[in-house]
Amino acid sequence: MQPTHECTDGVIVETIFIHSSGEQISSGKLHVPATKHDAQGYGSALTYARRYSLMAACGIAPEDDDGNNASKPKTAPAKPAAAPAPAAKAPTKVEGKDTEWQLKVVAKPDGDHGEWSQLVIDATVLQIGQAKSEADVMNIFKTNRNIYDEVKSGSPTAYEVLMDEFKQARAKHKEAA
């Protein structure tokens, strides 16, 4: 089952496995902010939340999909340049510290830094959704600091999105405390 929960800035989905005996296991609630506050924005957020909540509950790493381009932060149009700069190459494999909140992010051999950064954002949002406290949120950041520094160096806009996710999560846990 994947019930939704009330939220004003996006959607919250919970994945619950139910055994024939009646026993239930919940994966916890996952919050996905809506990029647009209209039916399409909330519908898109709900689709992603259901998919990522189920994947997290089953321990499945996300694959790149069509929706990645749609969920990338929009940037201002660039000024025309004499020659377009080549897209930064994604790091092949980066791991956080070996703790409970460790991320391991592997890029496609021909992937660019923007795609890789979006994968880091998606994985981080899943982890933040599983955090039970502000301390957990901070541990996610500390454990994977080297990954976030790599995002910052290659995709400053993606880094801003990540920092916003951390700020929102910290604020949510402060309010709950």
Q: What is the pLDDT of residue 137?
A: 92
Q: What is the pLDDT of residue 80?
A: 52
Four-CA torsion 51, 72, 104, 152, nearest 10 degrees: -160
Q: What is the pLDDT of residue 143?
A: 92
| Spans of all domains in the chain | 1-60, 87-177
Cα separation, 110 vs 112, whole angstroms: 7
Closest by alpha carbon to 62, among 129, 6, 120, 141?
Answer: 120
Q: Please answer whether residues 147 and 94 qualify as being in contact, where contact means their C-beta atoms are separated by less than 8 angstroms.
A: yes
Q: What is the pLDDT of residue 167?
A: 92
Cα separation, 121 vs 136, whole angstroms: 17
Per-residue burial over 8-35, b if 16 or more Cβ lie within 10 Å, else e, is eebbbbbbeeeeeeeeeeebebbbbbbb
pTM above 0.85, yes or no: no
Contacts for 25 with CB less than 8 Å, ≥ 6 apart: 16, 17
Low-confidence ranges of the chain (pLDDT < 50): 82-85
Q: What is the pLDDT of residue 83?
A: 45
Q: What is the pLDDT of residue 84?
A: 45
pLDDT per position as a tens digit, 55-85: 877 877 766 555 555 555 555 555 555 444 4
